[in-house]
Amino acid sequence: MSADNSDSNAKPKQPNVEIALLPEHDLPLNLEQRDILLAELSHWKLLERNKVELLQRVFIFETYSEALNFTYRLGEVSQQAGRYPTLITALQKVTVMWHTPDAGLLTANDIVLAKNTDKLFV
């Protein structure tokens, strides 16, 4: 697998990932809380689109089928959690974006979802 400094170079695995989200964690984080929790995430970027904060990470794979496999597995985990990231699969690259549109700002659940996305990689 190849990667640049903002992408994951980890190999995908087939973990049993279960995501436990709490409704109270869908409240917007204040700046201090956000900065503390963001420090726990490597390779994720905080972006703002249409006045909504979101977390984004780009994963690069050796083959297109590996990228599709990851997209499919993340879709299954997301379906179980009842949350749906924006996923862009292009050639060997998968861009994942987590956000809570109703909150507008980053939430603790967005952080949980990003961390669990990372668990799909060794």
pLDDT tens-digit profile of 91-117? 999 999 998 878 888 888 899 899 989
Which runs of E-coded beta strand occur in 3-121? 7-8, 45-49, 52-60, 86-90, 93-98
User: What is the pLDDT, as a whole number, of residue 82?
Assistant: 85
User: What is the pLDDT, as a whole number, of residue 105?
Assistant: 87
CB atoms within 10 A of CB 76: 11
User: What is the pLDDT, as a whole number, of residue 16?
Assistant: 63
Query: What domains are defined for the chain?
Result: 28-118 (3.30.1360.20)
- pTM score, whole prediction: 0.80
User: What is the pLDDT, as a whole number, of residue 118?
Assistant: 92
Which residues of the chain are under the pLDDT cut of 50? 1-9, 12-13
User: What is the pLDDT, as a whole number, of residue 104?
Assistant: 80
